Amino acid sequence: MTNPTRDTPRILLAHGGGGRLSAQLIRDQILPRFGHGPLAPLPDAASLHLDTPDILFTTDSFVVQPPLFPGGNIGDLAVYGTVNDLAVAGGRPRWLSLALVLEEGLPLATLQTVLDSVRDAAARCAVLIATGDTKVVPRGQCDGLYINTAGIGERLPELTLDRRRIEADDAVLVSGNIGDHGLAVLAAREGIGIAGSPLSDTAPVHRLVDVARRFGPAVRFMRDPTRGGVAAVLNEIAGGQAFGVTIEEAALPVSPGTRALAEMLGLDILGVPCEGRVLMVCSATGATAVLDAWRTLPEGRGAARIGTVTRDAARVCLQTLAGGRRLIAVPQGELLPRIC
Amino acid sequence: MTNPTRDTPRILLAHGGGGRLSAQLIRDQILPRFGHGPLAPLPDAASLHLDTPDILFTTDSFVVQPPLFPGGNIGDLAVYGTVNDLAVAGGRPRWLSLALVLEEGLPLATLQTVLDSVRDAAARCAVLIATGDTKVVPRGQCDGLYINTAGIGERLPELTLDRRRIEADDAVLVSGNIGDHGLAVLAAREGIGIAGSPLSDTAPVHRLVDVARRFGPAVRFMRDPTRGGVAAVLNEIAGGQAFGVTIEEAALPVSPGTRALAEMLGLDILGVPCEGRVLMVCSATGATAVLDAWRTLPEGRGAARIGTVTRDAARVCLQTLAGGRRLIAVPQGELLPRIC
């Protein structure tokens, strides 16, 4: 009798030791997928030539659990998360770093699935994996794998994003359904299956930002509502400012499965992370044109105007379906750990 | 009776949830230390202006165990590691990202010690922490904390580093004692105490690179011998090339404590990581001048010429004290896991 698990190729501690097995992992798994760019000569640092000296730089670590979830995995999430941070800050994403922390015993097949997703996601966003690193930690650490991506983007000169440019009566837009990512991961982690259970919205938003360029100064500010969801972003935008924001519950785009799951779990969808949406504040006069432009893209089909900037200093409110108003607080943060 | 451990402030899962506690951690621990640069407005991506469009980009994750070790900690290691990768690739380090993965229950005091080291190390190298991220994972994961730093440097036009420019009779130099970092961490992890036990050499090498600029094309190639040590770097340099390298055992700078510990543990010092050294290949005629220049700096006081480039294609050899010759193999990688 053979034991099939003994024959499963797995990650060993020595794959992270900088010796022969590290070199083999890079040769067999990294270079075939990412060796077409500046990473090819495996230098200590990638040599890049920029088209502009004005750049954006960001980083994110991904510790999502489980690493494979409905609608995506830690690999595409790590690419889109960093691409999106560059995009909503007004940049054209160009290069990413890819740093893997792998658990000893991780099946090689899982790593391959994740790296395939990284490769495909990077291609979809026209970014190159420029540099990387791999470490291995002992069994029981890191739940399979963690990924860090840092990213460099080139500043888009048409956009001047600054929350201090926001004015009363400006419009608040979102590019699609909210809350899908957080609830998809939570359902997978807790083993909750319901009809129409959500898929993660993990996706790049760089094209949504690209079409927004033509509206120039009408675009005041953008964020991707990831950790802390729409509630955290709105409070961050309005915090300490002379303006507030009021959101219309009736206008919030929410998929039926996400709504059902949030009700079942008693979660406020406004605090649930998205991983493929843009939240934009733009001038009242520009709002319809931005929505029309977004809706020409598949990733913007569900775009909606969800609220308005008010003169109510620093207050973020929800106009409820029942006709009431309530304050939208900053989420505490403990309800949805390890969602990205 | 009070239980002092219950009163110790510790990291909670909610510190990574993107809500109120995340904001508090950033306000209290990150901004006071790093808020003087582009990180201050806490954008999704930092906005940077470069002095040249030719840049270097690198990343490294640090999972060293224990995170505090003789001579340093994971914080300064994470700064110097990335600064050094930029420097030896021929760059002037400018900006770093700082991504923390924290274990639930980590004493806040430990995080503060590490962040103080990050701040001081960055100041020493004149780099700014431009952007960051913090995640928290449950107890039992990540051994306290992991850190990822990515870095951007500006290319130094005087240096053209390419291993294909290496020629027979070129000199191989190292900027100081080898093996101290790996053995210091290993001794701390295993609880081995001997007289003169090594301190980590973790330190920045950017000034060693800076003084090398004046030798221009005489400088062929540089690496910092981290994972896999001098043995891995030399094999990487010579791999597939028409030249080889011979190292003189008598010329290797090794501290007495490191030598004693390596002998006690049966480790080959050539395979043990350094974290503050440069290995350089330069022209035979330039070698003395480079060594003289290095030795004017405290971090280059122990610089030595350790070997010569030979016509022995792809072969890396050690000329032993006993008068013999042996091949220096690429370390497998399993002997020294989690050393950085």
Closest CA to B274 of B321, B231, B239, B318: B231
**Do B137 and B215 belong together in one domain?**
no
**Do A102 and A192 belong together in one domain?**
no
Owning domain of residue A234: 163-327
**Do A26 and A138 belong together in one domain?**
yes
Which among B18, B100, B151 is the nearest to A232, CB-wise? B18
**Do A145 and A168 belong together in one domain?**
no
**Shortest Cα–Cα distance, B2 to chain A (Å):** 27
**Contact criterion met (CB < 8 Å) for B330 and A19:** yes
- Structure-block tokens of residue A51: 């088209």
Task: Classify residue A294: in a domain, yes or no.
Answer: yes
Interface mutation target, options B48, B61, B129, B316, chain A, most CBs of A under 10 Å:
B61
Q: What's the pLDDT tens digit per position in A56-81?
A: 999 999 999 999 999 999 999 999 99
**Do A67 and A193 belong together in one domain?**
no
**Contact criterion met (CB < 8 Å) for B17 and A227:** yes
Structural domain ending residue among the three candidates A106, A123, A155: A155
Residues on chain A touching B99 (C-beta within 8 angstroms) = 59-61, 148, 150
**Contact criterion met (CB < 8 Å) for A51 and B50:** no
**Shortest Cα–Cα distance, A149 to chain B (Å):** 9
**Do B130 and B240 belong together in one domain?**
no
Q: How confident is the model at residue B138 (pLDDT cuts 50, 70, 90)?
A: very high
**Do A283 and A260 belong together in one domain?**
yes
**Contact criterion met (CB < 8 Å) for B17 and A135:** no
Residues on chain B touching A78 (C-beta within 8 angstroms) = none
Quick check: A6 pLDDT over 70? no
Give the global pTM: 0.95
What does the DSSP assignment read for A16-81? GTTSHHHHHHIIIIIHHHHTTSTTTT--SSEEEE-S-SEEEEEEEEE--SSSEETTEEHHHHHHHH
What is d(CA A238, CA B69) in angstroms, rounded to the nearest whole number?
Answer: 44
Which among A17, A86, A331 is the nearest to B333, CB-wise? A17
DSSP state of A197: P
Quick check: B95 pLDDT over 50? yes
**Do A32 and A76 belong together in one domain?**
yes
Distance of CA B303 to the CA centre of its chain: 17
Task: Classify residue B115: in a domain, yes or no.
Answer: yes
- pLDDT given for residue A1 in this prediction: 41
Which among B43, B101, B330 is the nearest to A89, CB-wise? B43
What is d(CA B264, CA B254) in angstroms, rounded to the nearest whole number?
Answer: 15
Residues on chain B touching A47 (C-beta within 8 angstroms) = 54-56, 89, 155
For residue A102, list its beta bridge partners.
A136, A145
Task: Classify residue B332: in a domain, yes or no.
Answer: no
What is d(CA B264, CA B273) in angstroms, rounded to the nearest whole number?
Answer: 17
Structural domain ending residue among the three candidates A138, A155, A172: A155
Structural domain ending residue among the three candidates A126, A155, A184: A155
What does the DSSP assignment read for A127-163? -EEEEEEEEEE-TTSTTSEEEEEEEEEEEPTT----G
- pLDDT given for residue A5 in this prediction: 56
3-state secondary structure string across chain B: CCCHHHHCCECCHHHHCCCHHHHHHHHHHHHHHHCCCCCCCCCCCEEEECCCCEEEEEEEEECCCCCEECCEEHHHHHHHHHHHHHHHCCEEEEEEEEEEEEECCCEHHHHHHHHHHHHHHHHHHCCEEEEEEEEEECCCCCCCEEEEEEEEEEECCCCCCCHHHCCCCCEEEECCCCCHHHHHHHHHHHCCCCCCCCCCCCCCCHHHHHHHHHHHHHEEEEECCCCCHHHHHHHHHHCCCCCEEEEEHHHCCCCHHHHHHHHHHCCCHHHCCCCCCCEEEECCCCHHHHHHHHHCCHHHCCCEEEEEEECCCCCEEEECCCCCEEECCCCCCCCCCCCC
- Structure-block tokens of residue B14: 């909610």
**Do A174 and A102 belong together in one domain?**
no
CATH, residue A220: 3.90.650.10
Quick check: B257 pLDDT over 80? yes
Crossing angle of the two packed helices A256-265 and A180-190, in degrees rounded to 10: 60
Task: Classify residue A298: in a domain, yes or no.
Answer: yes
**Do A146 and A191 belong together in one domain?**
no
B140 to chain A: nearest residue by CA? Answer: A141
Over residues A267-273, the mean pLDDT reads 94
**Do A169 and A77 belong together in one domain?**
no
Residues on chain B touching A102 (C-beta within 8 angstroms) = none
Which among B43, B50, B232 is the nearest to A55, CB-wise? B50
Task: Classify residue A57: in a domain, yes or no.
Answer: yes
Residues on chain A touching B48 (C-beta within 8 angstroms) = 54-57
Three-class SS of residue A336? coil
Task: Classify residue B110: in a domain, yes or no.
Answer: yes
The total number of residues shown for chain A amounts to 340
Q: What's the pLDDT tens digit per position in A143-193?
A: 999 999 999 999 999 999 999 999 999 999 999 999 999 999 999 999 998
Task: Classify residue A337: in a domain, yes or no.
Answer: no
Task: Classify residue A332: in a domain, yes or no.
Answer: no
Which among B23, B99, B227 is the nearest to A60, CB-wise? B99
Q: How many domains does chain B have?
A: 2
**Contact criterion met (CB < 8 Å) for A95 and B273:** no
The overall average pLDDT reported for chain A is 94
Q: What's the pLDDT tens digit per position in B267-315?
A: 999 999 999 999 999 999 999 999 999 999 999 999 999 999 999 999 9
A132 to chain B: nearest residue by CA? Answer: B59
Residues on chain B touching A67 (C-beta within 8 angstroms) = none
Phi, psi of A95, deg, nearest 5: -135, 145
**Do A196 and A263 belong together in one domain?**
yes
What is d(CA A153, CA B131) in angstroms, rounded to the nearest whole number?
Answer: 13
Q: How confident is the model at residue A2 (pLDDT cuts 50, 70, 90)?
A: very low
